[in-house]
Amino acid sequence: MVKKNYLVVIPGIILAFVLYTLSQGFNNIIGIELLGYNKSPISTAMIAILIGIIFGNIFKVRNTFQKGLDFTREYILKLGIICLGIQLKPFEFLEFGKIAIPLIVICIISVLIIIKLLIIKLKIPTRMAYLISIGSTVCGTTAIIATAPVIKASKNEISYAIANITLFGILSMLIYPYFANFYFEGNPLFAGLFLGTSIHETSQVAAAGLIYDQQFNSPETLNIATVTKLIRNTFLIIMIPLFAFLYNRGKTKDKEYSIINIFPYFVLGFVGMIILRNVGDQAFIPYNNYNWNEIIDLIKIISKICLTMAMAAIGLSTNLKDIKSMGHKPFVVGFVAMATVGIICILTIEVFQEIFI
């Protein structure tokens, strides 16, 4: 039975890998063969998610592939993020964390205040607003799914909020890397903080970081964006119990809420990979051990393959019809939440840039 359960995910994983290979091929043909660049100016991650969206909306994805695609989005994505930790050199994680945490806190508080005002103005359901706000400020779909049970959200409200977050997350994922490079004049620290704070999903931040890296040759921006986003993810521990309290205060609670169920454990793997890199650098680099560098390069390649496969799987699961059928009021809330996070992030960086430097 266990072997059979493992086998059912293989077709979907293979499909995601095929789309990764296809996107890499398109990337090389367009960027190198046609445009004549030594390195393609087009992002493989962007091509992968766009191909996934096109295929997923033209053809119906068979149930044979669905479990594997779900596995790719859930676990291969997390493996890719864990492997990203190998890129962080000694003490970078702590350094970025000190910078990112106050920025994230300011953005979360600002969005919650704005959305609270919108609830009153637009008269949208409180549960819908809660789902959109936590999806915008913490970690997108994961936060929505984790929050829904504690505020007793309906299936339609959950689907609506996820479609909302998906739409604006994809838009920001595709636009923000270019905007960040232009606005912050190529500063990798500021660009990484902006991408990691202003884009909803972990996968979308990873894709935006890949796009930035591939377009502007800045792996440091990818590292900073990833660390910033992972720190945001840990705010689930605070935000979801808070939302549960705010929504259920004065009401009888059916069951206790467990923080263990919402903690993003892959963050521990990411931190473990950072520690591995730091220990390995201390142990091997003084002796010019080239095998260690080869191991680092291999893990980096695995990370990018896993993340691009996850982008393809996410694209295949994005239903444009569901997004089109969204009502305008939650749509407005989602847009305002996205814009608020982006604007507050920029203003905060501008005000405190001397501290960040």
Spatial separation of the C-alpha atoms in residues 72 and 310, rounded to whole Å = 6
Residue 314 domain flag: no
Residue 83 domain flag: no
Measure the CA dihedral 60/63/69/74, to 10°: 130
Which structural domain range is residue 244 located in?
Answer: 89-305+319-356
In sequence order, the 6+-apart residues with CB closer than 8 A to the CB of 220 are: 188, 189, 192
- Asked whether the beta carbons of 54 and 176 are under 8 A apart, the reply is no
Residue 172 domain flag: yes
Residue 59 domain flag: no
Residue 247 domain flag: yes
For the chain, give the mean pLDDT: 80
Residue 19 domain flag: no
pLDDT at 1 over 50: no
- Most trustworthy range by pLDDT among 32-36, 171-175, 240-244: 171-175
Helices 77-84 + 202-216 axis angle, to 10: 50
Q: Confidence band (pLDDT; 50, 70, 90) for 2?
A: very low
Spatial separation of the C-alpha atoms in residues 82 and 302, rounded to whole Å = 10
Q: Report how far Cα 327 is from the mean position of its chain's Cα atoms.
A: 25
Spatial separation of the C-alpha atoms in residues 1 and 5, rounded to whole Å = 6
Residue 143 domain flag: yes
The pLDDT tens digits of the residues spanning 263-303 come to: 667 778 888 888 888 888 888 777 767 788 889 989 989 98
Burial class from Cβ neighbours inside 10 Å (0-12, 13-18, 19+) for residue 178 reads: middle
Residue 21 domain flag: no
The pLDDT tens digits of the residues spanning 138-167 come to: 877 777 877 777 777 776 777 778 778 878
- Asked whether the beta carbons of 194 and 180 are under 8 A apart, the reply is yes
Q: What's the total number of domains in the chain? A: 1
Q: What number is the average pLDDT over the span 208-213?
A: 87
* Per-residue pLDDT at 322: 66
